[in-house]
């Protein structure tokens, strides 16, 4: 949510900043801006995308080897040229780019107005710029101390980069709640909201911690906390490669990521399943395994698509490890007074590892003594660092705002954890355990088979692209897949869609069904199949259109449904990994046919670092 990039070194900053902003555009794309130190600070910013910013700066002198850029996802103040970042303090001493929300900005703004400050934007960030300037002028301290002092007065979240007109050649950065990564090169440093803009130049990074402030020149990196305690930068090596952030021959990142799933699921279990398929090794949770075996309950916290994966996890842990599970929206959990103790296992699921609510939820339970695990995709992310242990999904970078391959990799990790715990807790026999593992290793080939049938799904998409409402139904372990199918459709095509457990339809949604309502039903051959057939009958009786995902070989379903998408047979435990694929492709093609911007849907951003 909002992307920040900054550079200090020997090279010209502008092209590095522009390329960095393009790589970060998935975090926010309603306005963009840069500030460059080039005999004084020069700012170019506008409403719109990075390409609009490039057009604005085309004929300008964009020299200078120190600068910062921002791509915005609006919180305070509508998208406009004025509200775009960087923001300038009233006297022009400071320029600031910011990701996060300053919660007490109204109070601070009033105070600054009483002291003569005039505001030109609706943003909370301008308040920060003026607050730092006020401390700088009043207390006659340097920019770093002014930043630290000002930030002790701020309530809220920030990832910040600051340029001070009177201190050329240096960047000041600060973090609380919103991620910032520092890239270390030869006589140069990079700063960004995530590693994407950095990996082209260096693999050596430092993840800033909350309440840290960095002062960076081309030759030095000084790190402190807000209270002046010096910190030693913890330099890590990152394993990301530049080709993984290229669309290749695909029209959109989302389509590329959908098609990557045979590989990404393999990458998730690679090296974690014994060659003879008799054992699962999850190195990241080995140390805490005794506590996991003894756990009395699992609480899973997550948001959005990751929350849907968590619901699949509930079925898996209860069925195969015989452990009770509660699945919580992180945003609700964090504001309750949940009862959690040392016998609980709390699992946070997050693709980005930065979702503010999920992070807050795990912080809330830290004191409870519960074991806290992370299932994250982004290595080094805040959630992965703040949990006791965890399992990375290894899905590869996900850039499309609508999550696809992260979902299937999350389920793969949850399945491995559930099967492993089932084995250790003796809830599964040796043979059942072996069968489940073998079935998991078959999944990538089945995924590839389904994806090869894309054309039929595209044809169905063409028939339903104009609808205004849609219903997605599923039962048992496929109910969360119905929720995920509805989310995919609504978020990228802007069609109103609801996901329901099929049997719940009678308790209200059935009133919506008429001949204009498409009902997308998961009707695979599992233990609830006959029940789902009854639900399909109920839809047909009311003239609804039924589009069913069914197991190959089931010919009866053709007599009931208007359209059938076949998927190969697989173990019920793993059916969500297959059943979601038609809905991902359907949502993609409907959105493309409706002319929607699939990779950057309106109002959304990839990494939700504000609550």
Task: Tell me, by CB under 6 A, how many residues bind ligand F6R.
Answer: 15
**How many of the other CB atoms lie within 10 Å of CB of 530?**
8
Among 31, 71, 202, 358, binds ligand F6R (CB under 6 A): 358
The stretch near ligand F6R (CB under 6 A) out of 112-120, 304-312, 446-454, 516-524 is 304-312
Q: Which of residues 377-406 bind ligand F6R (CB under 6 A)?
A: 402-403
Catalytic option among 49, 176, 256, 606: 606
User: Partners of 213 in the beta sheet?
Assistant: 174, 224
CA distance 493 to 594: 7
Q: How far is CA 463 from the centre of its chain?
A: 31
Q: How far is the CB of 402 from ligand F6R (least distance, A)?
A: 4
Q: Distances in Å between the alpha carbon of 462 and those of 238, 479, 586, 590? A: 42, 25, 9, 7
The DSSP element (H or E) to which 129 belongs, if any, is: helix 125-139
Query: HSE on the CB side for 574, CA within 13 Å?
Result: 24
Q: Token pair of 580, please?
A: 């979601």
Annotated catalytic residue 606: yes
Torsion of CA 216, 220, 226, 227, to 10 degrees: -150
Is residue 499 a contact residue for ligand F6R (CB under 6 A)?
no
In the complex, the smallest distance separating the C-beta of residue 362 from ligand F6R, rounded to whole angstroms, is 12
Shortest Cβ 253–ligand F6R spacing (Å) = 12
Binding window for ligand F6R (CB under 6 A); candidates: 154-162, 310-318, 352-360, 470-478? 352-360
Tell me if 584 contacts ligand F6R by CB under 6 A. Answer: no
Which one, 38 or 607, has the nearer CB to ligand F6R?
607
Comparing CB distances to ligand F6R, the nearer of 330 and 421 is 330
Closer residue to ligand F6R, CB minimum distance, 304 or 422: 304
Task: Tally helices (H) and strands (E) across the chain.
Answer: 19, 25
Residue 489 tokens read as 């459709």
**Known catalytic residue: 2?**
yes
Nearest Cα to 183, choosing from 202, 208, 156, 161? Answer: 202
306 part of the interface to ligand F6R, by CB under 6 A:
yes
- Is 32 a residue that touches ligand F6R (CB under 6 A)? no
**Element at 212 (helix H, strand E):** strand 212-216
352 binds ligand F6R (CB under 6 A): yes
Q: Which is nearer to ligand F6R, 71 or 393 (CB)?
A: 393
CB of 539 to ligand F6R, least distance (A): 26
User: Which of 64, 159, 284, 304 is close enough to bind ligand F6R by CB under 6 A?
Assistant: 304
Which of 2, 303, 376, 596 is an active site residue?
2
Phi/psi of residue 77, each to 5°? 95, 130
> Is the bond leading into 276 cis (omega within 30 degrees of zero)?
no
67 makes contact with ligand F6R (CB under 6 A): no
Exposure on the CB side of residue 350, measured as CA atoms within 13 A: 34
Instruction: Give yes or no for residue 600 binding ligand F6R (CB under 6 A).
Output: no
Residue 399 or 446: the one with the smaller Cβ distance to ligand F6R is 399
Residue closer to ligand F6R by CB (options 250, 329) is 329
Helix (H) or strand (E) run with residue 135 in it? helix 125-139
Closest to ligand F6R by CB, 31 or 350? 350
Distance of CA 175 to the CA centre of its chain: 19
CA distance 540 to 41: 66
Residues carrying an active site annotation? 2, 606
Give the binding site for ligand F6R (CB under 6 A): 303-306, 350-352, 355, 358, 402-403, 487, 491, 607-608
């Amino acid at each position: 949510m909002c992307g920040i990039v900054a550079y200090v070194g020997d090279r010209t900053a502008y092209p590095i900043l522009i390329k960095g902003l393009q790589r970060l555009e998935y975090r926010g794309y309603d306005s963009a801006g840069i500030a460059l130190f080039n005999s004084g600070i020069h700012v170019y910013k506008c409403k719109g995308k990075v390409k609009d910013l490039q057009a604005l700066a085309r004929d300008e002198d964009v020299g200078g080897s120190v600068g910062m850029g921002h791509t915005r996802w609006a919180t305070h103040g509508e998208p406009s040229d004025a509200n775009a970042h960087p923001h300038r303090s009233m006297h022009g001493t400071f320029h600031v780019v910011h990701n996060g929300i300053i919660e007490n900005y109204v109070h601070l703004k009033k105070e600054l107005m009483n002291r003569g400050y005039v505001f030109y934007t609706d943003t909370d960030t301008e308040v920060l710029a003026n607050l730092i300037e006020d401390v700088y002028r009043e207390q006659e301290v340097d920019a770093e101390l002014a930043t630290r002092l000002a930030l002790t007065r701020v309530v809220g979240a920030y990832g910040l980069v600051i340029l001070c007109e009177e201190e050329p050649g240096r960047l000041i950065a600060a973090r609380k709640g919103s991620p910032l990564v520092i890239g270390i090169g030869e006589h140069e440093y990079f700063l960004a909201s995530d590693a994407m803009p950095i990996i082209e130049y260096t693999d050596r990074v430092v993840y800033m911690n909350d309440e840290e402030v960095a002062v960076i020149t081309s030759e030095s990196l000084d790190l402190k906390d807000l209270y002046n305690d010096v910190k030693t930068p913890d330099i890590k090596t990152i394993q990301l490669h530049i080709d993984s952030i290229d669309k290749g021959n695909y029209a959109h990142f989302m389509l590329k990521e959908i098609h990557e799933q045979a590989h990404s699921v393999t990458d998730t279990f690679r090296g974690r399943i014994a060659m003879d398929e008799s054992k699962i090794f999850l190195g990241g949770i080995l140390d805490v395994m005794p506590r996991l075996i003894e756990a009395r309950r699992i609480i899973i916290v997550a948001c959005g698509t990751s929350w849907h994966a968590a619901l699949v996890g509930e079925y898996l842990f209860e069925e195969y490890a015989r452990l009770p599970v509660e699945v919580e929206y992180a945003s609700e959990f964090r504001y309750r007074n949940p009862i959690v103790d040392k016998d609980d296992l709390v699992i946070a699921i997050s693709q980005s590892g930065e979702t503010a609510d999920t992070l807050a939820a795990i912080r809330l339970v830290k004191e409870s003594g519960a074991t806290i695990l992370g299932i994250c995709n982004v290595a080094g992310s805040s959630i992965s660092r703040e949990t006791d242990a965890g399992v990375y999904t290894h899905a590869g970078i996900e850039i499309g705002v609508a999550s696809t391959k992260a979902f299937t990799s999350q389920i793969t990790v949850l399945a491995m954890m559930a099967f492993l715990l089932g084995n250790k807790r003796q809830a599964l026999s040796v043979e059942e355990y072996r069968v489940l593992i073998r079935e998991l290793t078959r999944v990538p080939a089945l995924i590839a088979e389904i994806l090869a049938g894309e054309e039929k799904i595209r044809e169905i998409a063409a028939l339903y692209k104009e609808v205004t409402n849609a219903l997605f139904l599923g039962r048992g372990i496929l109910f969360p897949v119905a929720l995920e199918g509805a989310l995919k459709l609504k978020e990228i095509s802007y069609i109103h869609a609801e996901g329901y457990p099929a049997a719940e339809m009678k308790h209200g949604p059935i009133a919506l069904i008429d001949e204009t309502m498409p009902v997308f039903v998961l009707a695979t051959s599992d233990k609830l199949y006959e029940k789902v057939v009854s639900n399909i009958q109920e839809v047909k009786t009311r003239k609804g259109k039924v589009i069913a995902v069914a197991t190959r070989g089931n010919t009866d379903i053709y007599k009931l449904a208007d359209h059938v998408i076949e998927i190969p047979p697989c173990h019920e435990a793993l059916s969500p990994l297959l059943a979601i694929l038609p809905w991902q492709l359907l949502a993609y093609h409907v959105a493309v046919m409706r002319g929607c911007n699939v990779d950057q849907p309106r109002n959304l951003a990839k990494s939700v670092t504000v609550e």
